[in-house]
Structure formats: C-alpha cells, structure tokens
Structure 1
Amino acid sequence: MELLTPNLGYFVWALVAFIVVFLILKKFAWKPILKSLNDREQNIANAIASAEKVKAEMAQMQSENEALLAKAREERAQLLKEARETKEKIINEAKEQAKAEAAKIIADAQQAINAQKMAALTDVKNEVGKLVIEVSEKVLRKELSEQNKQEEHINGLVESIKLN
C-alpha cells in the first residue's frame, strides 16, 4: 500500500518542482503562447469578416449580373423588334416600288400599243388615200365617152378594192 500513498517528502519536492516549472513557463512561455493564440483568433476573426464581406460582394455582383442580364435581354428583344419592323418596312417598300414599276411598264406598253395603233391607222389611211388617188387617176386618164361606161368602170374599181 505504500505505493499508493506517497511520502510527504516526495510530495513536497514534486510540488516545488511543479511550482518552479509553472513559474518558468508563466514567465517565458505563457505570454507568447497566449499572444499567438490571440493572434490566431484575431486572424480567424479577420478571415471570417473578409469571407462575409466577399460573400456580400458576391451577392451584390450576382444581383448586378442578373440586372445586366435582364437589361441585355430587353435590349436584344428591342433589337429583334426593330429588325422585324425594318424588315417589314423594306418588304413593303419593295412591294410598293414593284407595283409602281409594274404600273409604269403597263402604262408604257399601253402608250407603245396606242402609238403603234395610230401608226397603223395612219398607214391604212395613207394607203386608202393612195388607192383613192390611183383610182381617181385611172378614172381621169381613161377617156370614156359615155357616162354609163364611166360608172361601170368606177363600180368595178370599187369592187376590186373591196375584195382586197
């Protein structure tokens, strides 16, 4: 049982050794250990604060990015709308221009047809006039003594002209 109950001398020397080690540690080691622990605690607190700040900035940046994305979508929609309007305007202008050109071509063609018609009528009138002159010339050149023969000759000429 002696092993379980220490001797008073050992106990005192152990207590003195403990106090000496404790005082030496307190004087030389305790302050640097506490200082390093405080520094570490401060660094961890700063890191947490920095992380919170970065997290807040990220949230702000995300909201700004979403706003920019919404604005970009709105601008894209506006550009597409303007492009559609421009396309329809160009198509309508091209249709109107094509209609105007078609109307002009038709008018020009009608003028050309009328000019050719008038030229053909003029040619026909000139030919009729020439024929009348030729018939009159033939009648005048032929000397007929009787009135009946003259009339028969004129009627024959008129019928030959009608057949042509």
Structure 2
Amino acid sequence: MDLLIPDLGLFFWTLLAFLVVLFILRKFAWGPIVKALQERESGIADSIAAAEKVKAEMKEMQSQNESLLIQAREERTQMLKEAKETKDRIINEAKEQAKTEANKILEDTRLQIERQKMAAMTEVKNEIGNLAVEVAEKILRKQLAGQEAQQGFVQMLADEIKLN
C-alpha cells in the first residue's frame, strides 16, 4: 500500500515540476497554439463567409440568367410575331397590287377591244357606204343610159326636193 500513497517530498517535487512545466508551456506554448487556433478559426470563418457570399452571388447570377433567358425568349417570340405580321402585310399588299394591276390590264384590254370594235364598225360602215354608192352608181348608169331617162330622173329628184 505504500506504493499507492506517495511521500510528501515526492508529491511536492512532482507538484513543483508540474507547475514549472505548466508555467513554461503557458508562457511559450499555449499562446502561440491558441493564437494559431484562433487564426485557423478566423480563416475557416472567413472561408465559410466567402463561400456563402459566392453561393449568394451564384443564386443571384442564376436568377439573372433565368430572367435574361425569359427576356430573350419573349424578344424572340415578339420578333417572330413581327416577322409574321410583316410577311402577312407584304403578301396582302402584293395581292392587292396584283388585283389592281389585273383590273387595270383588264380595263385597258376592254377599252382597246372597244376601240378596235368601233374602228372596225366605222371601217365596215365606210366600206358598206362605198359599196352602196358604187352599186347605186352602177344601177343609175344602167338605168340612165339614155338622154330621156336622165331627164326624167332629174325631174323626179327636183320634185322630191320641192316636197321636202
């Protein structure tokens, strides 16, 4: 049992050695160790804060990217709509212009046909008139071949003129 209970001298020297080691460690080791631990702790806290900041920035950039993507889709839709409206307007204008041109061509053709018809009618009338004059001339020459027939015809014309 003597081994379990230390002597007072051994206890004193052990306590003294412990206090000296504790003093030396406190003065030279614990300060730098605690300082290194605090620096490491602050470095880790800064890294975590920076990571949180980067994470927040990434979320913000992601939301901005999504809004830009939505805006780009809307602009694309708007541009496609405007292009379709422009295409439809151009097609309708071209159709209207084609109708106008076709109507103008039809009207010009109708007028040209009418003019040609009138010219042909005039020519036919002139031809008929010339033929009638020639026929009448030939008939009159044949009937008025003699002097007596000519004087009778002149007398008949004079009588008709007086009656009118």
**TM-score, L = length of structure 2:** 0.75
Q: Deviations over 1:74-98 (max 9, x none)?
A: 2222222211111111111111111
Question: Which residue is 2:145 aligned to?
Answer: 144
Whole-Å separation in 1 of the counterparts to 2:6 and 2:26 = 28
Question: Which residue is 1:133 aligned to?
Answer: 133
Does residue 1:124 correspond to 2:124, yes or no? yes
For residue 6 of structure 1, report the CA deviation from its aligned partner. 9.4
Whole-Å separation in 2 of the counterparts to 1:138 and 1:6 = 182
For residue 126 of structure 1, report the CA deviation from its aligned partner. 1.4
For residue 10 of structure 1, report the CA deviation from its aligned partner. 6.5
Does residue 1:75 correspond to 2:75, yes or no? yes
Question: Which residue is 1:62 aligned to?
Answer: 62
Does residue 1:107 correspond to 2:103, yes or no? no
Question: Which residue is 1:40 aligned to?
Answer: 40
Question: Which residue is 1:160 aligned to?
Answer: none
Whole-Å separation in 1 of the counterparts to 2:97 and 2:24 = 106
Letter in 1 for 2:48: I
Letter in 2 for 1:33: I
Structure with larger RCO (C-alpha < 8 A, sep 6+): 1
Q: Which moved more, 1:52-61 or 1:28-37?
A: 52-61
Task: Name stretches of at least 5 consecutive residues in structure 2 with no aligned partner.
Answer: 150-164
For residue 144 of structure 1, report the CA deviation from its aligned partner. 3.1
Whole-Å separation in 2 of the counterparts to 1:36 and 1:6 = 40
For residue 22 of structure 1, report the CA deviation from its aligned partner. 2.8
Whole-Å separation in 2 of the counterparts to 1:52 and 1:7 = 57
The two structures, once aligned, show a CA RMSD in angstroms of: 2.5
Equivalent pairs: percent with the same residue?
A: 62
Q: Match of 2:23, SS?
A: helix
**TM-score, L = length of structure 1:** 0.75
Whole-Å separation in 2 of the counterparts to 1:21 and 1:14 = 10
Whole-Å separation in 2 of the counterparts to 1:14 and 1:115 = 143
Whole-Å separation in 2 of the counterparts to 1:5 and 1:120 = 154
Whole-Å separation in 1 of the counterparts to 2:21 and 2:94 = 103
Does residue 1:91 correspond to 2:91, yes or no? yes
Question: Which residue is 1:161 aligned to?
Answer: none
Whole-Å separation in 2 of the counterparts to 1:144 and 1:61 = 122
Whole-Å separation in 1 of the counterparts to 2:83 and 2:36 = 67
Does residue 1:22 correspond to 2:22, yes or no? yes
